[in-house]
Amino acid sequence: MSPQIALARLLLAGGRVDAAHLADVAAGHPGSHQLAALARLAARHGDRLESLGRLARSPLWPSGDDVLASTAAIFDRLAVEAPEAGVALYSLGDPDELAAATAELVGVIRAWSPSASGRILDFGCGIGRVAIALADGAESVLGLDLSGQMIAEARRRAEGRGTVRFARNAAARLPVEPGAIDLFLAADSLPYVIHAGAFDSFMAEAARVLRPGGDLLVFNWSFRGDPERDVTEARALAAGHGFAVIRAGERPFAIWDAQGFQLRRIP
């Protein structure tokens, strides 16, 4: 586990995270490189820990009967309060930490899929960090998100880049023609679809918009804490919607702890 993920988990646990206390704990275990790295990271971001703790204790998971509306409301708030931490708490609200994690993710995407040079759809794009990073070297990138505030922030950050565009989309049907996409990316967005009970229709839409031979890359299938169930479910849905499973449940990152899935549209 990276120190970024470890610190994010401490924040999500709900208690107060104190950089000085972590330094004392690390000093008491001089042989633990992981504790030392965690203490250094906490010290570097000590001025943010209190506000990050409040953010971690705020509602971050949709509730109620209308899961999609609840999800949009949460991310509308996060886009204003803490855009970097809102899309990746392990960035600790630091643009440089987020940039490093994004670069690692983009490197994996490009290594896994030759379709990363084509027409990309970033589903649940947030502030556009991945879409913008992929735009250099791609034919085009379309970022979609439920949150209007996230889309507004993504557009602000992407100003002047002609190969990437963003749109709010809250409908079950994606605003894309059949076969118009080479790479469909869902990074930390599918868990919300699963929570809404809409993952079968999601797979049908992904199959519709992807060209034959195009890739669906999913990073974090769900947040259920059951990796074996996620892999089993991914394989079953792939078979039912015309995908071949290339990768399922791999962990390719040093910073992020996400599981990666690669499904290829069968010609």
Same domain, 154 and 104: yes
- 6 located within any domain: yes
Where does the pLDDT of residue 172 fall: very low under 50, low under 70, confident under 90, or very high at 90 and above? confident
Altogether, the residues listed in the chain come to a count of 267
Mean pLDDT over each residue of the chain, to the nearest integer: 95
Same domain, 173 and 226: yes
pLDDT digits (tens, 9 = 90+) for 67-91: 999 999 999 999 999 999 999 999 9
Same domain, 171 and 251: yes
Same domain, 161 and 255: yes
Q: Tell me, what's the pLDDT at 161?
A: 84
Query: C-alpha dihedral over 241, 247, 248, 250, to 10 degrees?
Result: -160
Same domain, 143 and 238: yes
The secondary structure of the chain in percent helix, strand, coil, rounded to multiples of 5, reads: 50, 20, 30
| Residues above pLDDT 90, as percent of the chain | 90
Say how many domains are in the chain: 2
- 211 located within any domain: yes
Same domain, 148 and 251: yes
Q: Tell me, what's the pLDDT at 40?
A: 94
Where does the pLDDT of residue 160 fall: very low under 50, low under 70, confident under 90, or very high at 90 and above? confident
Where does the pLDDT of residue 31 fall: very low under 50, low under 70, confident under 90, or very high at 90 and above? confident
Same domain, 177 and 245: yes
Where does the pLDDT of residue 153 fall: very low under 50, low under 70, confident under 90, or very high at 90 and above? very high
Which stretches of the chain are DSSP H helices? 3-12, 19-27, 33-44, 49-57, 67-81, 83-87, 95-112, 129-135, 148-157, 190-195, 199-209, 227-240
CATH number, domain with residue 200: 3.40.50.150
Same domain, 104 and 45: no
pLDDT digits (tens, 9 = 90+) for 180-217: 999 999 999 999 999 998 888 999 999 999 999 999 99
pLDDT digits (tens, 9 = 90+) for 123-142: 999 999 999 999 999 999 99
More confident residue, 83 or 171: 83
Same domain, 45 and 169: no
- 214 located within any domain: yes
Q: Which domain holds residue 252?
A: 95-265
The domain boundary residue, chosen from 11, 35, 57? 57
Same domain, 130 and 242: yes
Q: Tell me, what's the pLDDT at 267?
A: 87
- 261 located within any domain: yes
Question: What residues form DSSP beta bridges with 186?
Answer: 218
Q: Tell me, what's the pLDDT at 224?
A: 93
Same domain, 132 and 261: yes
Is the CA virtual torsion 151, 156, 162, 164 positive or negative?
negative
